Amino acid sequence: MADKNDSDKKPIIIKKYANRRLYNTATSSYVTLDHLSQMVKDGTEFVVRDAKSGDDITRSVLTHIIVEEESKGQNLLPISFLRHLISFYGDSLQSLVPRYLDYSMQSFARNQEQMRHYMQDAMDPFGQFEEMGNQNMALFENAMKMFTPFYGKEEEGGEGAAAPKNQQSETPIDELRSKLDKIQNQLDKLTRTPD
């Protein structure tokens, strides 16, 4: 996590010369698009300026990096996405697209650790199934509470009294069977016709 001093730092200035060479003013050395790509991955902020005019050309250089990565076979942008993106140029919604894409990518970046966790779980599906089973059991128990009006309110010593709390050896399946038996008993009592 970046500390406050990192966020207060000014971005590194990269100068682009007419011969297409890129010069990193922080390291006093020439760099390539691959270097700039790595700087992005490392979270290093930089601005690319035209060496002659001083214009900010960061957007076109970053776009060039994307084109280079795509040409190497790093196909990150689906063709349908590119077609949609092109179709928005000149559209009345064009001004909304950058904000929407920026927000979407920020959300994706915030959730990337959770997504990596899900991807790791996909490699070990049994752990994920166990967790899902536990969640389903909890949901089922909550549903049973709604359908059983006297759940948890049985009087002590009565016919439908709850099992003693010290029986910790019961598994969730045993508890579920016990609850289903209680429900069946209550239904039997309700449907019994008087003799």
Q: pTM of the full predicted structure?
A: 0.54
Task: Mark which of 79, 105, 128 sits at the end of a domain.
Answer: 79
Instruction: Choose between 29 and 124: higher pLDDT.
Output: 29
Does residue 114 form part of some domain? Answer: no
Does residue 91 form part of some domain? Answer: no
Task: Mark which of 79, 110, 142 sits at the end of a domain.
Answer: 79
Task: Mark which of 26, 59, 79 sits at the end of a domain.
Answer: 79
Contacts by residues 54-58 (CB-CB < 8 Å, ≥ 24 positions apart): 57/16
Q: How many domains does one find in the chain?
A: 2
Residues 83-126: tens digit of each pLDDT: 988 998 998 888 888 888 888 888 888 888 787 777 776 666 56
Does residue 106 form part of some domain? Answer: no
Residue type present at position 173: I
- What pLDDT is attached to residue 1? 44
74: domain range? 8-79
Backbone φ, ψ for residue 49 (5° rounding): -120, 145
How many residues would you count in the chain?
A: 195
> What is the C-alpha separation between 87 and 102, in angstroms, rounded?
18
CA 74 to chain centre: 22
